[in-house]
Structure 1
């Protein structure tokens, strides 16, 4: 036998420890990555009963098309801890409103949802001094314009430093 012959390596408990630590390290890293991606990309769309929501879809879509045919535009401003909303028709003239309710929906936590009733502040503009904390919100505006159903304006907004971005 030569002096340069190779000595075979043994598989020890230390090798097994490194394999197990490496395996679980990869699993934990992948889980943390998936949690981070889920928290930053989830739209927050939640319904209590998906079957009922699917049955109402066509009716709501038709209502949306009828509302879009009016050509009305909702004007939303959020600044200095105040929410203001008005509605204008296709020619830019103000639409007379009888009341406005806004629901601020937090995309991730239903407990953060905040309903706000606006009051008449000036000619055809409704306002309230209630702005939710900074972040991304879905707002649902129900404006009573004397139609059979309230005018519905749903938007995804960003509030930063108490103002609409």
Structure 2
């Protein structure tokens, strides 16, 4: 009667080589798939070129100082409806508390983790110093609300605030 070890195939060099090639082939294949998925879902960068962004840094500082000197009081309110649309309302007042009228306000809802979900919100003046706009299909979660107020092509106001929408 033959024992079990007599019936089994002996382990040869070719079999060991085939097992090693199969093992590393699977590992490399999984790594390639994971790399492709990671690259295709990468949301992107904040700026395309850090050098060109740094060139405008002094202008941004000057604009922020001029904005602080105006002492405007700009309040934003966001309300997300059941259908996913978000209504953004901005109330702008000058240093004396008078409504600021005649500005062109632009809003943008930015996803902190995924720039592909960013949406622009066109704000129209619906009353003296009151600007309102709607963004469609806003998912719940954290967003950055970026507001820019322009007059005659010159930016007079800019803010960026983190908001949580339910």
State the TM-score bracket (shorter-chain normalisation).
Answer: 0.5 to 0.7
**When the two structures are aligned, how many residues end up with a matched partner?**
147
Deviations 1:105-158 (A, max 9, x none): 56433xx65433212234532112333432665543212479x63201234555
Long gaps (5+) in structure 2? 1-9
Alpha carbons 2:78, 2:89 under 8 Å: kept = yes
After alignment, is 79-88 or 24-33 more displaced? Answer: 24-33
* Distance (Å, rounded) in 2 between the aligned partners of 1:28 and 1:96: 60
* Distance (Å, rounded) in 2 between the aligned partners of 1:97 and 1:79: 26
Give the alignment's TM-score, normalised by structure 1. 0.60
Equivalent residue, structure 2, for 1:152: 158
- Structure 2 residue matching 1:150: 3-state secondary structure: strand
Alpha carbons 2:146, 2:158 under 8 Å: kept = yes
The alpha-carbon distance between structure 1 residues 50 and 74, as it changes in their structure 2 partners (threshold 3 A), is: same
| CA positional deviation for 1:56 | 1.0
Counting only pairs closer than 5 Å after superposition, residues 98-117 of structure 1 correspond to structure 2 as: 98-99=102-103, 100-105=105-110, 107-109=114-116, 114-117=119-122
* Distance (Å, rounded) in 2 between the aligned partners of 1:35 and 1:90: 51
Alpha carbons 1:117, 1:128 under 8 Å: kept = yes
RMSD of equivalent CA atoms:
4.0
The question of 1:140 aligning with 2:146 is answered: yes
Equivalent residue, structure 1, for 2:6: none
* Distance (Å, rounded) in 1 between the aligned partners of 2:131 and 2:47: 29
The alpha-carbon distance between structure 1 residues 79 and 88, as it changes in their structure 2 partners (threshold 3 A), is: farther
Counting only pairs closer than 5 Å after superposition, residues 20-35 of structure 1 correspond to structure 2 as: 20-31=21-32, 32=34, 35=37
Long gaps (5+) in structure 1? 1-7, 159-163
